[in-house]
């Protein structure tokens, strides 16, 4: 909810969220609506669709899921996450032995 509050009440110069995409003016009505959708989609995907360990790694900054707001709209991202999930599992197995 703090992200939505930031989008709503802060100017782009004071909000990293509003400056995340150089192609969107976060201070316009359309830019604000786009950010509402983008940030809400990211939260939904992290809390509902993405494996909890991968979501936790993204939130903590251990990994970065590029274009997370397009998660259900692109096949390439799903393939990347499957690969990442497999790689993480292999890495964990190696670290455990």
Q: Give the predicted TM-score (pTM) of the model.
A: 0.67
Q: Is the pLDDT confidence value at 65 over 90?
A: no
Q: In whole angstroms, what is the distance from residue 81 CA to residue 61 CA?
A: 15
- DSSP letter at 11 equals -
Q: Which pLDDT band holds residue 91 (cuts at 50, 70, 90)?
A: very low
- DSSP letter at 22 equals T
Contact between 35 and 18 (Cβ < 8 Å) = yes
| SS3 of 39-65 | HHHHHHHHHHHCCHHHHHHHHHCCCCC
Number of residues in the chain: 97
The string of pLDDT tens digits covering residues 4-20 is 888 888 887 887 777 77
């Amino acid at each position: 909810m703090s992200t939505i509050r930031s989008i709503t009440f802060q100017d782009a110069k004071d909000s990293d969220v509003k400056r995340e995409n150089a192609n969107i003016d976060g201070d316009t009505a359309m830019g604000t609506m786009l950010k509402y959708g983008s940030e809400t989609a990211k939260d939904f995907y992290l809390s509902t669709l993405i494996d909890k360990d991968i979501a936790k790694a993204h939130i903590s900054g251990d990994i970065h899921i590029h274009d997370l707001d397009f998660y259900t709209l692109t096949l390439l991202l799903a393939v990347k996450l499957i690969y990442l999930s497999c790689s993480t599992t292999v890495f964990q197995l190696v670290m455990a032995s």
